[in-house]
């Protein structure tokens, strides 16, 4: 992963202070809602992946700072340290995976059935090859349990230069968990968004 000066990671300079953020918040929020619409992929009835980028993560940090009244550089840096791993570098895609359950009954049914699902997400390339997600070990240690899964996971996909070049029409996102077999072809708008991340 690139950590050179060309890194896309957010810095303190990217995060507006409270008054400046209030001035831009309405327009920025509208921009991010529209962005997330193109970057959200539903897989079956209960799983959604939201592919994150610099803007979605900046919005997350700005909103967190606003709600929790974080005004110091140290406090903002802590948020940057938490969320920056989800800003993809070239050749990477990063996604938040939501298991969207609305009742206790659904949670009891699905969260035990879907243990390990965060290891079972993949892209099927137009040539038939696959790119399987990887899960950050620190994240896995916090969220992975033997008998029940979490409702939110963070996954990353690493592409070779050849796979980046081949990423286009016909891309399929899939889950091959034994209890949850789903696949969907990405829309042209989503493909365009993710190609920008990979480039």
What's the full length of the chain, in residues? 199
| pLDDT, tens digit, 9 for 90 and up, residues 185-197 | 999 999 999 999 9
Phi, psi of 56 (to 5 degrees): -65, -35
Of 31-40, 62-71, 133-142, 183-192, the least confident: 133-142
**156-170: average pLDDT:** 95
Average model confidence (pLDDT) for the chain?
Answer: 92
Domain boundaries, the chain: 12-198
Task: Give the Cα separation of 102 and 95 in Å (integer).
Answer: 21
Where do runs of H (alpha helix) occur along 69-181?
A: 73-83, 104-113, 137-143, 161-166
Helix (H, G, I), strand (E, B) or coil at 134: strand
The count of other CB atoms within 10 Å of the CB of residue 24 is 12
Asked whether residue 145 carries a pLDDT value surpassing 80, the answer given is: no
**158-170: average pLDDT:** 95
CA distances from 144 to 13, 73, 137 (A): 34, 31, 10
pLDDT band at 141, cuts 50/70/90?
low
| pLDDT, tens digit, 9 for 90 and up, residues 51-100 | 999 999 999 999 999 999 999 999 999 999 999 999 999 999 999 999 99
First to last CA, the chain: 13
Helix axes 54-68, 18-39, angle to 10 degrees: 140
Asked whether residue 42 carries a pLDDT value surpassing 60, the answer given is: yes
pLDDT band at 140, cuts 50/70/90?
low
């Amino acid at each position: 992963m690139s950590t050179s000066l060309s890194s896309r990671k957010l810095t303190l300079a990217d995060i507006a202070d409270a008054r400046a953020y209030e001035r831009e918040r309405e327009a920025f929020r509208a921009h991010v809602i529209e962005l997330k619409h193109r970057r959200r992929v539903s897989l079956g009835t209960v799983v959604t992946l939201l592919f994150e980028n610099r803007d979605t993560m900046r919005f997350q940090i700005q909103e967190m700072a606003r709600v929790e009244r974080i005004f110091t550089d140290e406090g903002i840096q802590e948020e940057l340290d938490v969320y920056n791993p989800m800003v993809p570098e070239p050749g990477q895609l990063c996604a938040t995976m939501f298991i969207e359950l609305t009742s206790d009954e659904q949670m009891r049914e699905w969260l035990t059935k879907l243990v390990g699902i965060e290891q079972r997400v993949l892209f099927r390339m137009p040539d038939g090859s696959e790119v399987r997600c990887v899960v950050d070990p620190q994240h896995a240690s916090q969220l992975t349990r033997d008998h029940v899964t979490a409702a939110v996971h963070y996954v990353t996909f690493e592409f070779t230069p050849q796979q980046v070049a081949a990423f286009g029409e016909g891309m399929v996102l899939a889950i091959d968990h034994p209890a949850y077999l789903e696949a969907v072809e990405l829309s042209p708008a989503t493909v365009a968004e993710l190609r920008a991340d990979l480039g």
